[in-house]
A and B are shown apart, each in its own frame.
Chain A
């Protein structure tokens, strides 16, 4: 019961934050003088037609009225307006592109965790050994490398030179049709439909972008894992447990690792936010048809509704992940008051 109340309270606190982000998105799109309709319409459209388009896009109204109308549409009908560039409802655009980004981020972060946790634990167990130093070098180089450059270099080596991976032109080769839509995640949908060829193609298209994303994400995770494990292993409770003669496996996982997990989860939230930004760069390099590309194109085309919708979706995902991680910490760490 207390947990449910905690979840409800935290969720309620998200509402003003999300309203605030939407307000900022609105504000930022409208600072520049000039009207996006003039740019979208081009020079050959009459003044009357232009005014009509502005009226339809509500750009003739004052700022606060635009904001209020947008909010009421969003809350009553889930309507985020119509994109100027794709001429589709923004909601539909976002639903189409979200799974592409989700799949990429999920593989990337999954890979980062799979690499970073063992690396951090091994480094901590062999503190100040050559393995530890090597791990430190890998981690510090990993955070220093620009993610977009890494993607390009990996593409040069593994696509242009070795030909091991498909070209950076999206989620599937152009000759292949996507698997029947269930979740929108091509690898999962292909498995569900039993289409092995499609599954292999989707997976091989994912390899390089998710590795690129994982390299920059794993570095801070590995370092935090190491320092949290070192601290936990040197603690009184682990010493006491060792004195009691508990087996090494129990010491390591049930005592040290479980305690180290709290700071690891905390830093994971930051890493995830960084990855949500980094995915824009990675999608740009790999022509990945996801949210990042959509946001970038919307910005380059002054597509107001698309920019607002994309920013609202990304920030929502981010704060929800943050909340889930906080809940995970509360479950693991009994000292956290819920």
Chain B
């Protein structure tokens, strides 16, 4: 099946674009790091070497150590695991919940649609990080909080997209035909409309993956997400900030490079995918 996917026309068009392939490469590399973290990382992420505190990069500690004497190289790799997990879960939740609500609103219309759209208006009046901070406050720090806050602020975007897509799909001939041949409404919705309306929502998800990583790391950086001293990129940069005046540049530089690289990978991949899946965009 993978071979067929690789040889399909869309995949061919993807392969034609070197930047998309670069993005795919970066993403695969990060996923590999995350999966193989226990085997690649030379030390456990929370192991403290008290006689090697705040050391610059060396042969023993490739990327140096932080103020607790924890190996930054090991932590950066373990953090890939946590950050990719957070981003993937957050994107999945906002896709499912936003997609579900948007589909219902677009399909049903009426008072549900009206109520739904006004609620989305309110949620979108918040700058997203501010809303995420409020949610993080309400739930208290932790991995779960970061996931909920990051997914919640994205739900309106997915929901609106799904609703718009549903509104245009339900007018199409196949939808009328499905209705006319006596299918109950829920069956038309789930079997016929949702699969067709999903494409733009999925494209949005790849484009937002990197963004979810930035948002999650930002929350933890502010001290509202994952707690110190866990291995998470935002937390590591926060610890680096506390050490800023000592000039220990390695403690915040490397986690940031990993964030930037991962987000870059997802952005390049997302751009390529949306070019392929939305041909109108490609010719711009």
Report whether B214 and A146 are in contact in the complex, using a CB–CB cutoff of 8 Å.
yes
Give the Cβ gap from B151 to chain A, nearest Cβ, in Å: 15
Residue numbers in B under 8 Å from A153 (CB-CB)? 249, 252-253, 256
CB pair A149–B260 under 8 Å, yes or no, is: yes
Report yes or no: A152 in contact with B252, Cβ–Cβ below 8 A.
Answer: yes
User: Could you tell me if B267 and A140 are in contact, using CB atoms closer than 8 angstroms?
Assistant: yes
A253 to B18, CA, bound (A): 33
Q: Which residue of A lies closest to B119 (CB)?
A: A20
22 contacts between A and B (CB under 8 A): A16-B118, A16-B122, A20-B118, A21-B122, A24-B131, A32-B140, A141-B260, A143-B267, A146-B234, A147-B218, A149-B237, A149-B253, A149-B256, A152-B241, A152-B252, A153-B253, A160-B247, A273-B128, A296-B133, A299-B133, A311-B134, A318-B125
The answer to whether B221 touches A148, judged by C-beta atoms less than 8 angstroms apart, is: yes
Contact status B241-A285, CB under 8 Å: yes
Indicate if the CB atoms of B127 and A227 lie closer than 8 Å.
no
A28, A148, A155 interface centre (most CB from chain B within 10 Å): A148
Q: In angstroms, how far is the closest chain A Cβ from the Cβ of B271?
A: 7
* Docked complex: A9-48 residues within 8 A CB-CB of B: 16-18, 20-21, 24-25, 28-29, 31-32
A205 interfacial contact with B, CB 8 Å: no
Which of A52-60, A92-100, A275-283 faces chain B? Answer: A275-283
In the assembled complex, which residues on chain B have CB atoms less than 8 Å from the CB atom of A295?
130, 133
**Residue in B125, B259, B260 whose beta carbon sits within 8 Å of that of A319 in the complex:** B125
**A21 (CB) vs chain B CBs: closest residue:** B125
> A109 at interface (Cβ–Cβ under 8 A)?
no
Q: Tell me which residues across on chain B come within 8 A of A318, comparing CB atoms.
A: 125-127
CA A21 – CA B240 in complex, angstroms? 34
Q: Which residues of A contact B130 (CB under 8 A)?
A: 276-277, 280, 295, 311, 314-315
**Contact (A149, B140) CB under 8 Å given A16-B118, A276-B127:** no
Tell me, in angstroms, the Cα distance from A150 to B241 when the chains sit together.
12
Q: Is A288 in the interface zone, CB < 8 Å from B?
A: no
* Contact mask for chain A residues 263-281; partner B; CB cutoff 8 A; 1 contact, 0 none: 0000000000110111011
In the assembled complex, the Cα of A284 lies from the Cα of B268 at a distance in Å of 29
A274 to B140, CA, bound (A): 23
Residues from chain A with a CB closer than 8 A to the CB of B261 are 144
Chain B 108-136 interface 0/1 with A at a Cβ cutoff of 8 Å (1 = within): 00000000001101110111111111111
Interface-centre pick from A143, A144, A230, A280 (highest chain B CB count, 10 A): A144
Candidate in B132, B137, B140, B255 with the most chain A CB atoms within 10 angstroms: B137
B218 touches A146 (CB 8 A): yes
Chain B residues with Cβ under 8 A from A319's Cβ? 125
| Distance of A314 Cα from B133 Cα, bound (Å) | 13
Is there a chain A Cβ closer than 8 Å to B57's Cβ?
no
Per a CB cutoff under 8 Å, which of A16, A29, A156, A274 touches B249? A156
How far does the alpha carbon of A145 sit from the alpha carbon of B252 in the complex, in Å? 13
Q: Which residues on the B side are within 8 Å of A17 (C-beta)?
A: 121-122, 125
How many A residues touch B, CB cutoff 8 Å? 49
Measured between alpha carbons, how far is A25 from B222 in the docked complex, in Å? Answer: 19
Which residues on the B side are within 8 Å of A51 (C-beta)?
none
The 8 A-B pairs with the shortest beta carbon distances in the complex, nearest first, are A277-B129, A149-B256, A20-B122, A276-B127, A144-B264, A144-B263, A28-B138, A277-B127
Of the residues A20, A21, A145, contact of B260 by C-beta under 8 Å: A145
- Contact assessment for A307 and B263 in the assembled complex, using a CB-CB cutoff below 8 Å: no
Q: Decide if B200 is an interface residue (CB 8 Å cutoff).
A: no
How distant is A177 from chain B, measured CB to nearest CB, in Å?
25
Complex Cα distance A152/B240, Å? 9
Residues from chain B with Cβ under 8 Å of A227 in the complex: 284
Whether A146 contacts B260 by the Cβ 8 Å rule is yes
Contact between B268 and A314, CB atoms less than 8 A apart? no
In the complex, what distance in Å separates the CA atom of A105 from the CA atom of B271? 28
Interface 1/0s, chain A 148-175, versus B by CB < 8 A?
1110110110001000000000000000
| Residues of B with C-beta under 8 A to A150 | 256
Which of B123, B136, B222, B253 is most buried by chain A, counting CB atoms within 10 A of its CB?
A: B222
Tell me the A123-151 residues at the B interface (CB within 8 Å): 140-141, 143-150
Closest residue on chain B to residue A161 by CB atoms: B247
Cβ-based interface call for B223 (8 A): yes
A300 within 8 A of B: yes
B220 to chain A, nearest CB (A): 10
Question: Does B244 count as interface, using CB distance less than 8 angstroms?
Answer: yes
Query: What is the bound-complex CA distance between A143 and B126, given in angstroms?
Result: 20
- Which A residues are in CB contact (< 8 Å) with B122? 16-17, 20-21, 24
Smallest Cβ distance from A290 to chain B, in angstroms?
13
A254 interface residue per 8 A CB criterion: no
A333 proximal to B (CB < 8 A): no
Partner of A28, one of B135, B217, B256, B264: B135
What per-residue 1/0 map shows which CB atoms of B218-235 lie under 8 Å from chain A? 100111100000000010
Inside 8 A of A73's CB, which chain B residues have their CB? none
CB <8 Å contact, A274 and B127: yes
Known: A144-B261, A285-B241. 13 other contacts (CB 8 A): A144-B263, A144-B264, A146-B218, A146-B221, A148-B218, A152-B244, A153-B252, A153-B256, A227-B284, A230-B284, A273-B127, A274-B128, A311-B126
Q: Which residue of B lies closest to A272 (CB)?
A: B127
How distant is A56 from chain B, measured CB to nearest CB, in Å?
23
Min Cβ gap B221→A in Å is 5
Q: Which residue of A lies closest to B240 (CB)?
A: A152
B210 at the interface (CB under 8 A from A): yes
